[in-house]
């Protein structure tokens, strides 16, 4: 079966059938060729409903979980989005299809360089890259940003990500898996009138967020 057909089936069976309704998110999943972000070893499983290994003990996340996180953020075309955990660049591409600018951080240089090369080949010109500690956010790097409309964290944090929340604009949202190394709960933080509001959205499992405001390596 062609990858294009598998992509359509994924959207129908894994996203629409399970309640994902944001048309911007749906269209992004229909457009971005996930097979380009998967290693050859796992190519036949590209559109299956589970995460896949991408090397360096990291994974490309389950499509449904990515869609849930993106929908919870209520992404808008004018948004500046900070992504923590570039990985293979798949979620980066999905975000770049929807929002104005994506600022993405990956601590593993090998993964970042590979993702950057592929995303450039796909002619995404609204993405900025940083290699470093994602748990501290977009600091000491150009272009400088006064704050982000949305922040998405693709790694599990042991606690509230205060350093990232400081970089969230008023009215902005941050989504993050939070809990232990082996199991987390998906949390959405929203900044309203200077206060941080927290909402929980069910269990999940992500690789650990390594860094100053995360887990020790």
Active-site positions read 61
Instruction: Give the CA-trace dihedral at 166, 168, 174, 177, to 10 degrees.
Output: -30
Measured from the Cβ of residue 132, the count of other Cβ atoms closer than 10 Å reads 17
Phi, psi dihedrals of residue 152, rounded to the nearest 5°:
-125, 130
Measured from the Cβ of residue 18, the count of other Cβ atoms closer than 10 Å reads 11
Helix (H) or strand (E) holding 63: helix 63-73
Q: 143: cis peptide before it, omega within 30°?
A: yes
* CA angle 174–110–106, rounded 5-degree value: 15
């Amino acid at each position: 079966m062609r990858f294009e057909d598998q992509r359509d089936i994924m959207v129908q069976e894994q996203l629409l059938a399970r309640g994902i309704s944001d048309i911007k998110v749906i269209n992004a999943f229909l457009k971005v060729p996930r097979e380009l972000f998967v290693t050859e070893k796992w190519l036949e499983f590209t559109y299956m409903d589970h995460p896949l290994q991408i090397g360096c003990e990291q994974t490309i996340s389950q499509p449904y979980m990515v869609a849930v996180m993106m929908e919870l953020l209520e992404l808008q075309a004018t948004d500046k989005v900070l992504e923590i955990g570039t990985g293979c660049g798949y979620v980066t591409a999905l975000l770049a299809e929807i929002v104005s600018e994506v600022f993405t951080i990956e601590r593993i240089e090998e993964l970042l360089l590979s993702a950057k090369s592929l995303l450039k080949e796909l002619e995404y010109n609204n993405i900025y890259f940083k290699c470093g500690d994602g748990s501290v956010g977009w600091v000491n790097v150009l272009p400088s940003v006064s704050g982000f409309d949305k922040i998405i964290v693709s790694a599990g944090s042991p606690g509230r990500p205060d350093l990232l929340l400081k970089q969230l604009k008023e009215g902005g949202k941050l989504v993050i898996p939070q809990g232990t190394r082996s199991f987390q709960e998906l949390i959405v933080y929203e900044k309203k009138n200077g206060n941080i509001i927290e909402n929980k959205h069910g269990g999940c499992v992500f690789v650990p967020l390594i860094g100053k405001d995360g887990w020790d390596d």
